[in-house]
Amino acid sequence: MRIALFTETYLPSINGVVTHVKTLKDGLEQLGHTVLVVTADSRVNNHVMSDDVMYCPAVKLKKIYNYDVAPPISIERLDKIKSFNPDIIHIHNEFGIGISGILIAKNLKVPLVYTLHTMYDDYVYYVAKTKAFGKIVTSASHFYAKMLASTASAITGPSLKVSEYFKACGVKKKIHVIPNSVELDVFTPEKSDKNTAWELRRKFGFEDDDTVFCFCGRLGKEKNVSLLLKYWSEYVKDEDRIKLLILGEGPLYEQHCKEAEELGISHQVKFSGRVEHEELVPYYACCDAYITASLSDTCSISMLEGMAMHLPVLSLKDELNEGQVRDGVNGYSFTDAAEMYELLKMIRDMSDAELEALGNSTRQSVMQSGAVRLANDLLLVYEEAKECFKKKSGKRPRLKNRYKAIKRRYAPRTKYVRKNQ
């Protein structure tokens, strides 16, 4: 099968969508399929093809995560995709490149699959500074999501949150829930150097007997790091020997650093700043567990990476993501600061053997989350999309044939009269 994946962001940028698309591409290729990634890139002036990736000219939106956004209409892009001759077009974003995928799928008459990765209701604050305007933007985004969904032969998302979101938008189509995957060959403890991990602990001022929890992600309001810091300040004391390492940068990086100082926990909470994707393994290796208070994630890839590195997870309870963190199997859920504190101490007080057993169980819980599993799940969706598209395409006869059928049906019947009678 020939598959074109349309995504607004791709390597060398790193975020959840990029990792998902890269992993999907790897899995599909391992199974013998041909994949073309179509992405926006503000560094190019013409459409550039390189290693099965088409980089499309774009502009950079500095106020929105520095995303590159390409114009949706391009004759050159259409010609190149036509030459690729895809069996499926699969869009992963809703902006210029995503719209381009929709238009090209329609032009080439091929099935379209749409994956929603982002709960946009949690990102409204980027463009709406007042509550009233926020309601308008939310309503508009719901209408937009419904419109996009109506063009697709199949819709997917990483968790039940996507189903609920589409339901709120008024979409009645079936939603295929396909959890995110993790690069199991990259995020494995065997690939981490113990000396590098210990050097990182010393760099951030962690003692040998400290229990270190980490969070990794882009630091925006939707990640709820402010709540995590607040909970931390309410209960965790210096004598507890419990520390927090926050990996990543983002629009609220400086604000969170300031919050930690104002809450009096800056000696307990350390911020790494930006860490390149290929350098993450030793950072996870220098920690003992993963913690998150985010409720915006559909199926956090950073959390899965930590789990693949044997880090059990403490997560703010999220009913729509309930199956991702299973108590005693790969971590525990908490509902408030007091519960979080008790779980922090429980992890701290585990013996080395107990923590190792929980870490092994955590790694085991994501062992079926690799690239091939993701590819196989989506291949089933692709086949269903092709069948749906085929039925929809053949539903109505062409106008000329349809006119003839109506004419035959309603034409007056006449009796046969023999000549010369």
**CA 193 – CA 202 distance, rounded (Å):** 15
3-state secondary structure of 156: strand
Instruction: Encode pLDDT of 253-297 as tens digits.
Output: 999 999 999 999 999 999 999 999 889 999 999 999 999 999 888
Q: What is the pLDDT of residue 393?
A: 78
Low-confidence residues in the chain, pLDDT < 70: 63-65, 122-134, 395-421
Class of domain 2-181+372-393: alpha beta
Q: Is the dihedral of CA 134, 140, 146, 147 positive or negative?
A: negative
Please give the radius of gyration of the chain, using alpha carbons only, rounded to the nearest integer: 26
313, 297 contact by CB (below 8 A)? no
The domains of the chain are located at 2-181+372-393, 189-365
Q: Distance (Å, rounded) from C-alpha 20 to C-alpha 17?
A: 5
- Residue 371's H or E segment, with its range, is helix 371-393
Are 2-181+372-393 and 189-365 equal in CATH topology? yes
- In sequence order, the 6+-apart residues with CB closer than 8 A to the CB of 283 are 200, 214, 216, 245, 247, 272, 275
How far is the C-alpha of 145 from the C-alpha of 414, rounded, in Å? 55
Q: Which residue has the tokens 């819980």?
A: 365
Query: 189-365 has which fold?
Result: Rossmann fold (3.40.50)
Distance CA 244, CA 278 (A): 22
How far is 114 from 88, CA to CA, in rounded Å? 11
At 62, list the tokens. Answer: 């500095």
- Could you tell me if 219 and 253 are in contact, meaning their C-beta atoms sit under 8 angstroms apart? yes
Residue-level pLDDT at 115 = 96
Rounded CA gap, 211 and 344, in Å?
Answer: 9
> CA–CA separation, 240 vs 227, rounded Å?
20
d(CA 93, CA 226): 28
Residue 36 in 3-state DSSP? Answer: strand
pLDDT at 249: 93
pLDDT at 382: 98
Q: Which two tokens stand for residue 368?
A: 């079926």
